[in-house]
Copies of this chain bind each other. A is one copy, B any other.
């Protein structure tokens, strides 16, 4: 037997997030990822099937985390739907707080991955969306949320808005501080721009 030195699998995926964020998936070179991970090129292929597998694993981890948090939240019976909506927004921002590179990869490469049929897109993404839907539906049922708004549209509306703001934050943390973003998103989502 031989023990693994350190945790190359983790080093590699973390390096890939950094490199994908900096250059974009397509211009990112495996050789660069290996260099950043402090690992030989061949080692990348020991732990991952190929370049796309790296991207896939990044998103799979991300959606799993988000799904689990949303599930916990939507099953909570003490919070009102409006409070849950706020929490969902917080969770989303929180997960990227520690890792701007992950935010950039998330924003830029999500579509890319979805169009490529070679993976059935991570189950966790669908599960995540369902949890979000439950919360909004609960709000409509309890007569707190407007019922002339299509739930599906609302979901994509908020999701797209946050995604775009996250990207701005990742590109320019100074001018888009997360706390201000959160606060504004929560307000706009609930009350809109009209006085």
| Chain B residue at minimal CB-CB distance from A136 | B193
| Chain B residue at minimal CB-CB distance from A114 | B171
A157 interface residue (CB < 8 Å to B): yes
Query: Which residues 149-190 of A sit at the B interface, judged by CB distance below 8 A?
Result: 149-150, 152-154, 156-165, 167-168, 175-176, 180-181, 184-185, 187-190
Question: Which segment of A9-17, A69-77, A105-113 sits at the interface?
Answer: A105-113
Report if A157-B185 is in contact (Cβ < 8 Å); known contacts: A190-B192, A193-B149: yes
Residues of B within 8 A of A192 (CB): 188-192
Q: Please tell me if the beta carbons of A193 and B145 are within 8 angstroms of each other in the complex.
A: yes
Contact size range, A: 35 or more
Instruction: Find A160's partner among B26, B154, B163 (CB 8 Å cutoff).
Output: B163
Instruction: Find A191's partner among B144, B162, B184, B191 (CB 8 Å cutoff).
Output: B191
Cα–Cα distance between A112 and B20 once the two chains are bound (Å)? 12
Instruction: Find A115's partner among B24, B150, B181, B190 (CB 8 Å cutoff).
Output: B24
Instruction: Find A195's partner among B144, B164, B188 (CB 8 Å cutoff).
Output: B144
A82 interface residue (CB < 8 Å to B): yes
Sample of 7 further A-B pairs with CB below 8 A, known A145-B194, A190-B192, A190-B194:
A108-B111, A143-B195, A144-B195, A146-B195, A153-B165, A157-B185, A160-B163
